[in-house]
Amino acid sequence: MEDIEQKFLDQILATPSPSGYEQPIQAIVQEYAATFAAEVKRDWHGNLTAIVNPGGSPRIMLAGHCDQIGLLVKNIDDRGYLWVHAIGGWDPMILLGQGVQVWTKSNGAISGVIARKPIHLLTPDERKNVPEIKNLWVDIGAANGEEARSVVSIGDPITVQLGYRPLRNGLISGPGMDNKVGVWTVMTAARRASKLEPRAAIFATSTVQEEIGLRGVQTSGFATDPQLGIVVDVTHATDCPTIDENQYGRIKLGQGPVLYRGPNVNPRVLETLERLARAERIPVQINALATAASNDAAELQLTRGGVATGLVCIPNRYMHSPVEVVSISDLDHAANLIAHFCASVTAESDFTP
Ligand SMILES: [Zn+2]
């Protein structure tokens, strides 16, 4: 990974991007894209597309969603506590004891915490209860409702504390790996492909609002009108206790990106990815998916007259938590593989299944 690529990763992991509040991260993506793309486009939904070789053929769209799960301020009570709705799928259990930041309209980031009453005061029944989001509040230290309302507005988004910690063996842990690592991968794949004299046109899109219903890929996919698409998202690593490999497949961190096989994936796109992985000595893992994917691949495949779609995933432990774990080498390999895919496709390529 080059310095500029590492810097881009560090920056996006430190930047908030709850669904609907992606403009801060898109500003960073735009700066990175400007270093390699012939053109950078932003649409009024919020998607950002970096275009390499705009006049080429066919048109390949690389999609990684930039939004992360978060919370949204729903009410501020008279004691100054914030009550929230979830943006995306949280395990409420995991929010207890978290430091958060409220991204206010006019007062910048404000720190807060989520907790519950101390263990000493919990009744035996309460100790067994799993909390719901509606029972959690955010404490920003305000003296009362008036003070809280003077700095926080209804609808302000909230993230858990951003940034990441390095673990051993090139692993990193933090919130929002889902799917900032996907944005990193599609943009870096386009950057690396731009140096391989591609004949295809490459549209690398940082899509918005995936976590609330695969929304940004619908608008950006329609506008780009690609023949080929590769979606990059995270997938569950199954190499930690309590996950059944028979149900979820054998996926390990650091063993390469995961190529999915199943009806949501064009078999010839998959064959091409597998062939290139062998030729370039890029490690990959294969997993199966019997249904439509629960990510942007489901929508991209159905765009207009149908898109030959591939799904390349980054293994992720503890998805949708503040301590998601991924391997840097898996991102790096994924970006290389997709760059080679983009460089290998020509106007004569046929992806009829
Ligand atoms: Zn995702």
> Domain ranges in the chain?
3-68+176-344, 71-160
pLDDT at position 130, please?
A: 87
Ligand 1 mean position, distance from CA 90 (Å)? 13
210 is annotated as an active-site residue: yes
Position 259 scores a pLDDT of: 98
Indicate which residue of 210, 211, 299, 324 is catalytic: 210
- pLDDT tens track for 55-69: 999 999 999 999 999
Q: What angle do CA 262, 229, 290 make, to 5 degrees?
A: 15
Closest CA to 308 of 323, 297, 296: 297
Distance (Å, rounded) from C-alpha 315 to C-alpha 174?
14
pLDDT of residue 40: 98
User: Separation of 92 CA from ligand 1 center, angstroms?
Assistant: 18
CA of 145 to the centre of ligand 1 (A): 35
What are the CA-CA distances from residue 303 to residues 61, 192, 221, 225, 315 (Å)? Answer: 11, 26, 6, 8, 26
- CA dihedral sign, ordered 95, 100, 20, 211: negative
Q: How far apart are CA 23 and CA 47, in angstroms?
A: 9
Strands 48-52 and 201-207: antiparallel
Nearest to 296 by CA among 217, 190, 200: 217
Contact between residue 311 and residue 264 where contact means Cβ atoms under 8 Å apart: yes
CATH number for the domain whose boundaries are 3-68+176-344: 3.40.630.10
Q: Rounded to the nearest whole angstrom, what is the distance from the C-alpha of residue 174 to the centroid of ligand 1?
A: 14
Quick one: DSSP state of residue 68? B
Within 136-285, residue ranges assigned H as helices are: 145-151, 177-193, 216-224, 245-248, 267-280
Tokens 């290998």 sit on residue: 344
Instruction: Report pLDDT for 106.
Output: 87
Q: Which CATH class is domain 71-160?
A: mainly beta
Q: Distance between CA 120 and CA 114 in Å, rounded?
A: 18
271: phi then psi, degrees, rounded to nearest 5 = -60, -45
Q: Which residues of the chain have pLDDT under 70?
A: none
Identical fold for domains 3-68+176-344 and 71-160, yes or no, is no
Q: Exposed (0-12), middle (13-18) or buried (19+): which is 252, by Cβ within 10 Å?
A: middle
Q: Tokens 């992806």 identify what position?
A: 351
Cβ atoms 352, 298 nearer than 8 A: no
How, if at all, do strands 324-327 and 157-160 pair? Answer: unpaired
Paired sense of beta strands 48-52 and 109-114, if any:
unpaired
Count CB-CB contacts under 10 A for residue 170.
14
What's the predicted TM-score (pTM) here? Answer: 0.97
Give the Å distance between the CA of 350 and the centre of ligand 1. 29
- Those residues with Cβ within 8 angstroms of residue 225's Cβ, 6 or more apart along the chain or in another chain: 59, 303, 304
Considering just the CA atoms, what is the radius of gyration of the chain in Å?
Answer: 21
Nearest by Cα to 9 from 339, 330, 230: 330
